[in-house]
Structure 1
């Protein structure tokens, strides 16, 4: 691909040529600051130069683009003199007889030319702007050329498909069979559903659905996506046609090699892989896919994490698209496209930021920005970006060997004016590093915040400096360590600095714009749910505020726990005319604590702490909203879009985490209050559940009540006896954590009573994403609705027999239509658990769990979740979710016989099988790594956490009189908990091995194998089955054995993974024999 030399790198070529003003044909007399100009021609017919005048000024100055037969040339015409800015040979098409499109992209400070599928020319052009656009000459023939002028603005596009199924006006089907999918198929009304629509592609061939305009550029496009099958799922950008676009695609983990992620440029139908990485998606899971495209880079994202990035000089713009290939079905929802000004530089090739050296010596070296050692007191400094950059986060990694300071600067106006995050050797020596926030004005340094961290400065580290509407924060190796406020900061460029006496390497600089007054978006709830009297507790803003408790001093506390960040937004008219007192960082039962913001109802506000006034201000008459916020240790009171009226940086902040309205607040309109926090995730499931991983069950928008199918919510139905529908948060958390869940049971039987076993509204905190028993688990109405309990891993540490469902039948609306408010929290080492604000259990953990995921689950039931909120202290990286274990392909088996069976597993699995068993059955395979005798044994692996762990030893009839005796070798680990079951005359009989006994109504116990040992070593077991059955039946045999199986005891919480059988548990069997008595043995022995 051909790219012209840039003016910024090689300078301009000045040609002292004076000329007369040509007679241009004008397309637009007064151009916008940013626009595109498009025209097309057939190269073979193009015999003379075509000239485009760009930003033509009244005095005749302009930029001139000449499209000739052999290339393109861009010049600046100033006072009649011509200066060459750049030239390019241009794109060489596959066919010179086909029409080729040219797009000229005029942006503030730059001009780029796209010819065919390539950006062939890109130059700095900041001499003049906003003039006229015209042309001179013809394109290919003598007819008047069609030159199109198009002003461009920021991209803002969103589609959640909430419209009539026949309305697809925003989209163009390039290929495939795309249709709308609606909850109406369930009998539900879209207006009474949490998430009623998405779009589905039913074609298996390569398919592309696009939306947007040809002049879209520099944007990020994202969509929620779910695949059924093993093909490609993707999202596209710059879709010039069905044969020309940029693509981020992802294949299934079930493909050879475990799947693949790719960034691809499709040019004239041919694919060019720009970047690739291993790893595939799991079928039937929701993900958030995104592609970020600019004229320099293209990036691929999964669940908001960048997974691929590559250089890009293709297409220059175009619509976004949804892509599939080779799938049975593909679902897409919640599509968003928006402008993106983010910048990256990997220092690998020209095309990133344009760096200007201020001090020292710098050079790019194979993906590293290398700075020579400083030889005097002046630091080495290099600057890039634009002077108008505002509110952004800059990140960079560096490797240093010495002890001199290393820094990252933002808001750089000059070498004497900038904001600096500096890392230097801490005073006093030792392996400690001082991290400082420094404001440099007119060359004078002022340290605004400093923190000392353990660890030496030498080595590789990361820096991140954020400036966001006056709030400043610095991170060291991914953790925020310093913060300050400075509302006088001007916008500016980014810079790298150091004062080391040895070389310093910088890598992967990024600039991400965060925007002014960034807040967490409020989730939308269907109006029918907001106004329903039985749903207002979870669906309406007022439902989030507790009623005043006795002894609370009349304070109405918000239900949230605001770790480190809280914003209350209210209309400015209400703030000026009503008396309100807002408490930030408050403590329940101590209304005097925290920060108090008093609005006196007469247009004034004051900020105080412990009765001491910290500041006051008069509210302006104009403005939309008043923002009262706490971020870290900074309190601000701001009218939206303006500088703060009040602000305070606290060196000794209060320890509370609550937001409240004091008793003096009168006439509060809760519907007008908006509460948000960066440390909160709020789910009403109006969008696809991309933040959740489905471990078990079929989760989605579905009905809760068979008798009232109009309503639909997010959840899972009971899909089998003893099922454990479970979803995990993809995000992991560290530190303190609070979960709020509004949940109920879906009906699973006829309208009356409606529920076969009403029980188990459960959740887990700090689990590992596989095993519920790895974290803190909170079980409500468990054990067939007899009790509730709190578990630390598999140990019960708190319980209540008072907390359970009361009269759980469909004719009792207090149960049937109620949404139970379940709250589980860990603050420090204290665990508390409540339901509908009634305390269930409390536990102080001497060794608290500190990190993990959240799970929502049930047992022997379905689970419906209307809303879930997670309040967290810190996000962290969790372990990868396990890939579904592959079931070995079926192999020929030894046929069974009525007179008995004998399996040594030397040739095959014999009669051992899982055909017809649930999806959570064991995975069976021959194991050559261990055996009791011979080369092979049978290995059974648990495919989930808990579950049935079931497999057949023989799924066929056996005559106990002919096969009365059982013997086998076994190797069980301590965590394996299974029994052996016989099915006789449609009833189960249990031979207890390592699993617990169970109810006689489930399986009658016929005995135990003496000294059965689960220690991971090989042992031998024998048992007289015939004698045991005769004993149970008074000397007779009720009939033939219909099956012999191993499984987890039914009805036990072992099915949930409590007490044993964690994910991936393996056990081995060998020399399995069911036949006649051995010599010397008799019946009953």
Structure 2
């Protein structure tokens, strides 16, 4: 074979994104097989311009259509990484194809949840090579995967290996000596539903840059009730001892980038100074970047009058003017010493992005594409805080953004792949029935909607969340305003395993901090004031700003910049997962920031407590006469003890009310009737004993007061009736049933 006339066809780097925000009939760029549709917001009147994340692509799988396939791109695409977010419901598997050629050859990354029930996660992730019609599993790993959870899939090629990633973690890989190129595709098979969102195809380094910048619905940045969380300006608070100095509330543990959008109006004048500080002390002389807009017209200093000689008797007046100023200065300062100074034309500078970057000991900046400076100094590594002072102008905060390598920042404008729904349905949902277009990410459909972080954080941490309660209806908008709660340093399964900050708990009676189920601080004044639709600014349209600072053993919890509770733990918990949850409400999250010292572990889903079965029985099973009573809050599993006639009761779901019926019924009560029981109750479990006498119910608290319906009579036992050994946690119960009946008015 002889080849002549070789030519090079220049191509740009591949860059393609799709978040499916479009009309339902506008999916023409995707070549589809199977049943596909757009899935929208939980609202009767959705409005994409007022929603956090309005759409996802939905593959509908059934016996008639067990497969779905969608392809986009061109045969010459190469040198890219492909990424997509996916959620699986039902008995299905789903994945991402890359480097797909016209013959169908490609690589595929697939996930398949395989657990028999939700609270025992099992599954597998596979890297598959499809070539010449044959399917070969190149690598496979078991993982604790759950249905109805969002995961992020990514395929990359580094010149030697095809790599499969799950939630930014490299899981599977295979060596390839081929040059991969081609389209990308979305695949689903089985029975149920699969949702896809946030498709990105880009060079690997550019993919990382895209991930740095979060999305915020533009209208949110324009609303005065939302600017505190929707723009970077809201992250700054004024120094109480130094008016005019504003501190960013985050802490910069790692490398960072700060994009400052210079305003488009070049007629502004004055200075804006950004300080890079090792601590939050106003008297320091830190590294600073001063931006000065000088705008001063020239003025006449003196006017010279003269007369031309005869025969031209003409007088001439000549003004002498001072030079005007019309420039833009960028000055780098170290303390009071000027390190670098650069001058620009205002028209070329204003409207541009000024990016300041810290990478290790190096601090650099560029304006647009022009590099301004790059310095290497040990003091740069010590920078932990940012502050600014303005005299005349500020950046365009709606286009400014701070990124940090040790920051989780989520506006939930993309699929929530860094979180897992522990309880309830978590989706973008309308906040107000009276204005159903406004929608944010939130949890509903359960008495305790709970959202967990997949990642575990360790060391010093700052947690920030902007939260609100979902309005229920126009007639009864907030029937039970209470509980905007945050658990942290927890195990990802049990809310009581770490610290918990409860805001407006116990029916809006106060706020408290707990350590592993024990109350360590309480503030009765920290509660919702006038939680009605009439209180627009303070509740109905307000986003509550919860801020939790944990430095070592010191913990401080703030709400709307006011300290609510603080406490120092003599034996601090060092790290764990974060959870947001509520009680008898829907909880909405507008934005969450977590500034952390280091990451601990990642788990797609937590493993449940030991002793749970692989598969939950279809119906409650009686064991030695004890019968679990299932509800949406618990799944009690009863197993016999090896010795004696006792049983072990385990809640297969974290938290909630676990109900078990004892093998005692139809007893005739007289003066000598006594109920004797012995049970071992873990420290983080609260138990009520319920008795039914002549049709009336009585609640007897054993290890802590539990709420119960008002039609149930409460009986508080005497000290000798219930004896608890704090060391072994064994409880001996001896109750006189006749005395209880007399108290209840039962003959």
Q: TM-score, normalised by structure 2?
A: 0.84
- CA distance, structure 2, for counterparts of residue 669 and residue 1010 of structure 1: 65
Query: Given the alignment, which residue of 23, 31, 40 partners 1:182?
Result: 40
Query: Given the alignment, which residue of 377, 385, 401 partners 1:650?
Result: 377
Shift of 1:156: 0.9
> Which residue in the other structure is 1:536 paired with?
227
Q: How does 1:257-276 map to 2 (within 5 A)?
A: 258-276=122-140
Query: Residues 1017 and 715 from structure 1, CA distance in 2 versus in 1: closer, same or farther, beyond 3 angstroms?
Result: closer
Partner SS for 1:168:
coil
Query: Given the alignment, which residue of 642, 656, 668 partners 1:961?
Result: 668
- CA distance, structure 2, for counterparts of residue 833 and residue 762 of structure 1: 11
Q: How does 1:822-901 map to 2 (within 5 A)?
A: 822-878=546-602, 881-883=605-607, 886=613, 890=617
- CA distance, structure 2, for counterparts of residue 922 and residue 515 of structure 1: 45
- CA distance, structure 2, for counterparts of residue 917 and residue 787 of structure 1: 29
- CA distance, structure 1, for counterparts of residue 108 and residue 176 of structure 2: 12
Deviations 1:550-574 (CA, angstroms, capped at 9, x unpaired) = 4224113333333343433335687
Shift of 1:702: 0.8
Q: Judge conservation of contact 1:617–1:646 (CA < 8 Å) in 2.
A: no
Query: Given the alignment, which residue of 611, 615, 627 partners 2:336?
Result: 611
Query: Residues 886 and 193 from structure 1, CA distance in 2 versus in 1: closer, same or farther, beyond 3 angstroms?
Result: farther
Matched, 1:912 2:629: no
> Which residue in the other structure is 1:741 paired with?
465
Q: Judge conservation of contact 1:740–1:821 (CA < 8 Å) in 2.
A: yes
> Which residue in the other structure is 1:43 paired with?
none
Q: How does 1:423-442 map to 2 (within 5 A)?
A: none
> Which residue in the other structure is 1:201 paired with?
59
> Which residue in the other structure is 2:657 paired with?
948
- CA distance, structure 1, for counterparts of residue 481 and residue 441 of structure 2: 19
Shift of 1:232: 1.7
Partner SS for 2:378:
coil
Q: Judge conservation of contact 2:489–2:577 (CA < 8 Å) in 1.
A: yes
- CA distance, structure 2, for counterparts of residue 521 and residue 890 of structure 1: 45
- CA distance, structure 2, for counterparts of residue 757 and residue 239 of structure 1: 54
Shift of 1:181: 0.7
Q: How does 1:204-223 map to 2 (within 5 A)?
A: 204=62, 205-223=66-84
Query: Residues 198 and 817 from structure 1, CA distance in 2 versus in 1: closer, same or farther, beyond 3 angstroms?
Result: same
Query: Given the alignment, which residue of 908, 917, 921 partners 2:635?
Result: 921
Partner SS for 1:1011:
strand
Q: Judge conservation of contact 1:210–1:320 (CA < 8 Å) in 2.
A: yes
> Which residue in the other structure is 1:233 paired with?
94
Matched, 1:801 2:492: no
Partner SS for 2:723:
coil
Deviations 1:657-714 (CA, angstroms, capped at 9, x unpaired) = 3222224353544345333323322211111110112112211111222222221111
> Which residue in the other structure is 1:626 paired with?
354
Shift of 1:633: 3.2
> Which residue in the other structure is 2:148 paired with?
284
- CA distance, structure 1, for counterparts of residue 37 and residue 395 of structure 2: 46
Query: Given the alignment, which residue of 505, 529, 535 partners 1:812?
Result: 535
Q: How does 1:661-676 map to 2 (within 5 A)?
A: 661-664=388-391, 666=393, 668-676=395-403
Shift of 1:653: 5.2
> Which residue in the other structure is 1:348 paired with?
none
- CA distance, structure 1, for counterparts of residue 273 and residue 448 of structure 2: 46
Q: Judge conservation of contact 1:920–1:944 (CA < 8 Å) in 2.
A: yes
Partner SS for 1:861:
coil
Partner SS for 2:229:
helix
Matched, 1:764 2:487: yes
Matched, 1:583 2:275: yes
Shift of 1:753: 4.5
Q: How does 1:361-760 map to 2 (within 5 A)?
A: 513=205, 521-546=212-237, 548-571=238-261, 578-585=270-277, 587-588=279-280, 590=282, 592-601=284-293, 602-619=327-344, 624-643=352-371, 645-652=372-379, 657-664=384-391, 666=393, 668-717=395-444, 719-720=445-446, 723-748=447-472, 750-760=473-483
Partner SS for 1:542:
helix
- CA distance, structure 2, for counterparts of residue 715 and residue 193 of structure 1: 12
> Which residue in the other structure is 2:304 paired with?
none
Q: Judge conservation of contact 2:722–2:731 (CA < 8 Å) in 1.
A: no
Q: Judge conservation of contact 2:700–2:716 (CA < 8 Å) in 1.
A: yes
Q: Judge conservation of contact 2:85–2:417 (CA < 8 Å) in 1.
A: yes
> Which residue in the other structure is 1:980 paired with?
689
Shift of 1:861: 2.4
Query: Given the alignment, which residue of 156, 159, 164 partners 2:15?
Result: 156
Query: Given the alignment, which residue of 644, 647, 667 partners 1:932?
Result: 644
Query: Residues 971 and 931 from structure 1, CA distance in 2 versus in 1: closer, same or farther, beyond 3 angstroms?
Result: farther
Q: Judge conservation of contact 1:991–1:1007 (CA < 8 Å) in 2.
A: yes
- CA distance, structure 2, for counterparts of residue 959 and residue 844 of structure 1: 52
Partner SS for 1:877:
strand
Deviations 1:381-424 (CA, angstroms, capped at 9, x unpaired) = xxxxxxxxxxxxxxxxxxxxxxxxxxxxxxxxxxxxxxxxxxxx
- CA distance, structure 1, for counterparts of residue 188 and residue 604 of structure 2: 25
- CA distance, structure 2, for counterparts of residue 958 and residue 932 of structure 1: 21
- CA distance, structure 2, for counterparts of residue 574 and residue 636 of structure 1: 23
Deviations 1:696-753 (CA, angstroms, capped at 9, x unpaired) = 2211111222222221111112x45xx32221222222222112211111123x4245
Query: Residues 913 and 312 from structure 1, CA distance in 2 versus in 1: closer, same or farther, beyond 3 angstroms?
Result: farther
Partner SS for 1:702:
strand
Q: CA RMSD in A?
A: 3.4
Larger radius of gyration: 1
Query: Given the alignment, which residue of 310, 316, 325 partners 2:189?
Result: 325
Shift of 1:910: 5.0
- CA distance, structure 2, for counterparts of residue 330 and residue 1011 of structure 1: 53
Deviations 1:218-270 (CA, angstroms, capped at 9, x unpaired) = 32211111111233221111233685432111221416994222111223443
- CA distance, structure 1, for counterparts of residue 258 and residue 158 of structure 2: 36
Shift of 1:306: 0.8
Q: Judge conservation of contact 1:553–1:663 (CA < 8 Å) in 2.
A: no
Deviations 1:760-812 (CA, angstroms, capped at 9, x unpaired) = 11213322222333333222112221212233443433332222111111222
> Which residue in the other structure is 2:745 paired with?
1034
Q: Judge conservation of contact 2:20–2:55 (CA < 8 Å) in 1.
A: yes
Query: Residues 920 and 530 from structure 1, CA distance in 2 versus in 1: closer, same or farther, beyond 3 angstroms?
Result: same
Count matched residues: 694
- CA distance, structure 1, for counterparts of residue 42 and residue 421 of structure 2: 24
Shift of 1:583: 0.9
Shift of 1:823: 1.1
- CA distance, structure 2, for counterparts of residue 893 and residue 549 of structure 1: 59
Q: Judge conservation of contact 2:262–2:395 (CA < 8 Å) in 1.
A: no
- CA distance, structure 1, for counterparts of residue 253 and residue 554 of structure 2: 16
> Which residue in the other structure is 1:408 paired with?
none
Query: Residues 998 and 534 from structure 1, CA distance in 2 versus in 1: closer, same or farther, beyond 3 angstroms?
Result: closer
- CA distance, structure 2, for counterparts of residue 257 and residue 663 of structure 1: 53
Q: Which has the higher contact order (CA 8 A, sep 6+)?
A: 2
Moved more, 152-161 or 617-626: 617-626
Shift of 1:942: 2.0
> Which residue in the other structure is 2:306 paired with?
none
Moved more, 620-629 or 826-835: 620-629
Shift of 1:989: 1.7
Query: Residues 983 and 701 from structure 1, CA distance in 2 versus in 1: closer, same or farther, beyond 3 angstroms?
Result: farther
Q: Judge conservation of contact 1:912–1:951 (CA < 8 Å) in 2.
A: yes
- CA distance, structure 1, for counterparts of residue 186 and residue 334 of structure 2: 53
- CA distance, structure 1, for counterparts of residue 381 and residue 451 of structure 2: 36
- CA distance, structure 2, for counterparts of residue 819 and residue 293 of structure 1: 43
